[in-house]
Structure 1
Amino acid sequence: TRLPGFCGEWSPIKISKHASLKARIGWQALTTAEYLDEGAHFLVTGTDFVDGRVNWSSCHYVDQWRYDQDRNIQLRDGDVLLTKDGTIGKVGYVDGLCGPATLNSGVFVIRPLQESFAPLFLFYILKSKVSDEFLAMITAGSTIVHLYQKDFVTFEFLAPSRDEQTAIATVLSDIDAELAALEARRDKTRALKQGMMQELLTGRIRLV
């Protein structure tokens, strides 16, 4: 299915050729004692991804020297994040960056080289069946699940022009926003129902 106004063939995008893939390297690993409850430099882990976005309120912090240690994993808006340990393949997209932020050792940051793809388009590709099938293939038979960089760089997918990528990502993002609004309305209605149950089932409020 194509959006109106677009045509032309789709071309392969290869992570090894068209993207920068970075992570906290082994000797920079953090201990749990370095996960601070307050500070100025956010530490983003896979558990902080909520509905594909970073939940900044759940993040820990690290000292500035840890943030400064590796510029390659200092986050910026438009970064695509992918977990590589534990629950692999969990995807996050950075927008509305709240301050200086870095990664723990369980997350890749993916950026386009020479604007070869729209980051938000890649985000949705990594949330799709295309990515699920790739991850299932490379982890088949593994007892310890880990996404190695040497394996993930072999990932490739088809993509249209960058303008069409942006248009597709915008449509999907708008749907996500509508879903979030509906879920918030549902939660509000559920809370209202709970309050009504308490009043009606205890006789504090009687039906007319």
Structure 2
Amino acid sequence: MMMRKWPRVAVKDVCSLIVDCVNRTAPIVEHDTPYRMIRTTNVKEGRIDLSSCRRVDERTYERWTRRAKLLDGDVILTREAPIGEVGYVSGLGPVFLGQRLMQYRPDPKKVVPRYLYYAFRSTDLQHQFGSHEGSGSVVSHIRVADCHEFKVSLPPIRQQELVVDLLGSIDDKIELNRRMNDTLEAMAQAIFRDWFVDFGPTRRKIEGASDPAEIMGRLVTDPKRLRQRADLFPAALGDDGLPATWNRRSLLTEAQLVSGGTPKTTESGYWGGAIKWASAKDVSQCASSFLLDTERTITDLGLRKSAAKIVPRFATVLVARGATTGRYCMFGDSFAMNQTCYGLVSRRSAPFFLNQAFGALVESLVQAAHGSVFDTVTTKTLEMATVVDPGEAPRVAYEALAGPLIMKVLENLRESKTLVATRDLLLPKLMSGEITIRDAEQRLEAAQ
């Protein structure tokens, strides 16, 4: 098949507006307002994540948007720290740009807005952005003037719409999986917190509840198991504040502690094999409950010749020292890991209970580590940490109830991983005209 050659145009010729951010820091407020500032850290992997946005008052918002407000369909680009992250504005409300960001408003007569977003994410444009890494300054950046000159392959509008429909359908499914996972994780956490942190079933019994559904806080919907599960919880609190017959035990009586190691980096035969090797960076940057991939891999020889060990699937793994101490996730597969991480493997075949129990105490571990020479969680810290031991039956009940929720999270993550790989394969080929929409649809169908 012959490759089509779409005309190349400067981005300034297909945009009605290109605006740099205000190059000073906006004064923020501590109270809640609808006015949020997008920083470079909020733009990652094609998404604008507002969960950690700083807020300003209305006066500041108006001052910082004098040149232009962000509207649906605008595309934003990080031009420094890091270079080349792209976001698409849709339904964000009153937001504005922090420093080191550019705003593009596509002219819909010339370019479909979401097509420009995908063009910015293509290898073509990413290469153009990346060419500024060696800008000669202390911190690499893209000059504002250069932000007007990037070249975009521009097919006819109808072709752009077809490209957007196809790639958009993939991204919509990825976003649906992400939202579903947020809901599933929140459900698993809510059940754990009610049962093992707030002791909800016991407290409701103390308050006189007798209906099993009410005792279980309406969190258990299976009518056949309501009474069975309600009966697992004591009807009184002990002097220690725990449900009667429950105890607190050392975290390491519930979990086996596994340490990691690093093969010699000078031995090429130790690296690039089939064994995924998780670093503190991998764990700390994991954006979901499960880590599925690692930046580096090692060989069987590298595993044997180092202190690295295979850590089993569903282990909870935390960063034990450094700036990201306390970040944690579960391994979605069996991985090796380096020595800046600790693995916690359930001794009672209850990995999801263990993961939630660890999540409930991790903040106190980080506080204990803060102020030490390297902000380190030590083995002694973990030995002294305690978790609730409700006995076997409540623990098994939690695994039975939360396990399918968490396994669905993992299933969705694997599906999204495949979708991302397919989208990233198709995107540059569609943008360049190398393949047709029909070809792309066939490849997408084969990947699902």
Shorter-normalised TM range: 0.7 to 0.9
The one of 345, 349, 355 aligned to 1:200: 349
Structure 2 distance, partners of 1:62, 1:182, is 32
Which residue of the partner structure matches residue 79 of structure 1? 74
Structure 2 distance, partners of 1:86, 1:103, is 14
* 1:31-42 map, 5 Å: 31=26, 33-34=27-28, 36=30, 38-42=32-36
Structure 2 distance, partners of 1:128, 1:135, is 11
> Percent identity, aligned pairs only?
23
Would you say the 8 A contact 1:30–1:104 is kept in 2? yes
Quote how far apart the aligned CAs of 1:168 are: 0.5
Structure 2 distance, partners of 1:59, 1:93, is 16
* 1:58-137 map, 5 Å: 58-69=52-63, 70-97=65-92, 99-113=93-107, 115-137=109-131
* 1:150-165 map, 5 Å: 150-165=145-160
Question: How does the TM-score come out when normalised to structure 2?
Answer: 0.39
Which residue of the partner structure matches residue 18 of structure 1? 14
Structure 2 distance, partners of 1:35, 1:103, is 16
Aligned length: 196
Which sits farther off after the overlay, 88-97 or 179-188? 179-188
Counterpart residue identity of residue 106, structure 2: P
* 1:43-54 map, 5 Å: 43-54=37-48
With a CA cutoff of 8 Å and minimum separation of 6, indicate the structure with the bigger relative contact order: 1
CA RMSD after TM alignment: 3.4
Structure 1 distance, partners of 2:181, 2:106, is 37
Q: Which runs of 5+ in 2 are unaligned?
A: 186-288, 291-313, 317-345, 352-390, 397-448
Question: How does the TM-score come out when normalised to structure 1?
Answer: 0.77
Structure 2 distance, partners of 1:36, 1:71, is 23
Would you say the 8 A contact 1:67–1:74 is kept in 2? no
Counterpart residue identity of residue 13, structure 1: V
Counterpart residue identity of residue 131, structure 1: L
Would you say the 8 A contact 2:134–2:140 is kept in 1? no
Q: Which runs of 5+ in 1 are unaligned?
A: 3-7
Structure 2 distance, partners of 1:184, 1:200, is 28
Structure 1 distance, partners of 2:11, 2:30, is 33
Which sits farther off after the overlay, 44-53 or 115-124? 44-53
Which sits farther off after the overlay, 71-80 or 34-43? 34-43
3-state SS of the aligned residue for 1:130?
helix
Which residue of the partner structure matches residue 30 of structure 1? 25
- Structure 1 or 2, whichever has the larger Rg, is 2
Would you say the 8 A contact 1:74–1:103 is kept in 2? no
For residues 65-96 of structure 1, give each alpha carbon's deviation from its aligned partner in whole angstroms, at most 9, with x where no partner exists: 22212333411111101011210111001112
Counterpart residue identity of residue 127, structure 1: R
Would you say the 8 A contact 1:73–1:102 is kept in 2? no
3-state SS of the aligned residue for 1:123?
helix
Structure 2 distance, partners of 1:87, 1:144, is 10
For residues 121-151 of structure 1, give each alpha carbon's deviation from its aligned partner in whole angstroms, at most 9, with x where no partner exists: 1111111110121122233353421111111
| Closer/same/farther in 2, CA of residues 60 and 73 from structure 1, 3 Å limit | farther
